[in-house]
Amino acid sequence: MFLLLLTFTAPLLLVWVYVRWLKVKRYWADRGVPFVPPNPLLGNLTFLQRYNSGIWMRNLYHSYRRPYVGIWLFWRPALVVNSVEIGRRVLISDAAFFRDRLVTSGDSDPIGKYNLFTVKEPVWSSLRRRLTPVFTAAKLRSMHSLVNMKTKELMQRIQNDMTESQSVNLRKVFTDYTTDVIGGVSLGFVGEATLSGRGPLRTVTQQFMDYDFFRGVSWLLMFFWPTWVNFFGLTAFPKSSIDILKRVYQTALTQRGGYETEVKETRDLLDALIKIKQDRARDNEDMPEEKLIAHTAVFVLGGFDTTATVLSWCVYELAFHPEIQENMYIELLNLQEDEEKLKDFDAGSLSNLSYLNAVIDDHV
């Protein structure tokens, strides 16, 4: 009986899939949009696990040179915008129509699902309003002494490594440094990774960076096929890294006096999270700590690897272009005159250095 049923239904199913596929692959042609021919299984994601998505995007831009190009993420149509004017409309004037990111995690992964990067409207707007004050220029200036201290440690570390082994792994050292900085500026948790290469938050950032095949697939599905994330019970971050991050968070919270402490002024992320918890409590609503730790996880993730990568590529390129290094140095000297004071710049004057900023922008 089963065989008979299969004999009749299998061809029907195949025909259904084929007809559906024909419809999917006509999507952009029907709308008169230039498109990259899709693969029947992966759409245009055939480059994944083979080369970097940035290189793929650049190739796409150079091959088509059109204001927009249609692609498919598996079978889901998506539009790549190549025009500054359209980009501006998406991000500014028409932003209300382009609210949510597709990326999300499953119900079994609150840290991956409820952070600022993955939450959807209307939660995103309200959270963003609460967390934006953490990023003002004045806040960044107030964190300057911590950044300065860590920068001096960074120079010391590079000297130490050179003395000990005549070489320095700058990618690793910059990651030690940015881990300390992001821990300090977001939670007031000042680590020791810049000098020692170790520490609880550094273990977290190391585990965040460790990608194996399974984690690659998890992120792939979170970005492009979120419905399957729940089905397979996947998580954005390794469980052990989140356990350590929770301990770091609780240590920082205890040092600040817990959730009952009065927050007069929101100085950093932790203050903003404490305030969210208190305001919810006033409205008799519960705010699970996991949701607060979710924002911490995404701040740490967003803060350490991005900046360490930019620093690494900047220094790498500068090594090949001593003339650009020299120009940067002269620009700094013009500002400060006294070479000794070069170690004590404040964020405000650094942001006025157009040459230095152009070099950094080129690597972001």
Contacting residues toward ligand HEM, per CB under 6 A? 101, 116-117, 128, 298-299, 302-303, 306-307, 310, 364
Report how far residue 147's alpha carbon sits from residue 127's, in angstroms, rounded to the nearest whole number. 26
Tell me the β-bridge partners of 73.
Answer: 43, 76
171 vs 336, beta carbon nearer ligand HEM: 171
Q: Which is nearer to ligand HEM, 161 or 267 (CB)?
A: 267
- Distance of closest approach, residue 306 Cβ to ligand HEM, in angstroms: 3
Give the shortest CB-26-to-ligand HEM separation in angstroms. 29
Nearer to ligand HEM, 25 or 272 (CB): 272
Least distance in Å: CB of 69 to ligand HEM?
Answer: 19
Place of tokens 């990651």: 175
Residue whose beta carbon is closest to ligand HEM = 302
Residue 164 Cβ vs ligand HEM, minimum distance, rounded to whole Å: 30
Q: Which residues touch 231 (CB under 8 Å, ≥6 apart)? A: 106
Smallest distance from ligand HEM to CB 45, Å = 18
SS (H, E, C) 330-341: HHHHHHHCCHHH
Burial (CB < 10 A; 0-12, 13-18, 19+), residue 5, is: exposed
Smallest distance, ligand HEM to C-beta of residue 346, A: 18
Q: Is 68 helix (H, G, I), strand (E, B) or coil?
A: strand
CB neighbours of residue 40 within 10 Å: 12
Any bridge partners for residue 78, and if so which? 71
Handedness of CA 171, 172, 175, 177 (dihedral sign): negative
Query: Which lies closer to ligand HEM via its Cβ, residue 25 or residue 189?
Result: 189
Pick the closer one to ligand HEM by CB: 184 or 199: 184
Q: Which is nearer to ligand HEM, 200 or 302 (CB)?
A: 302
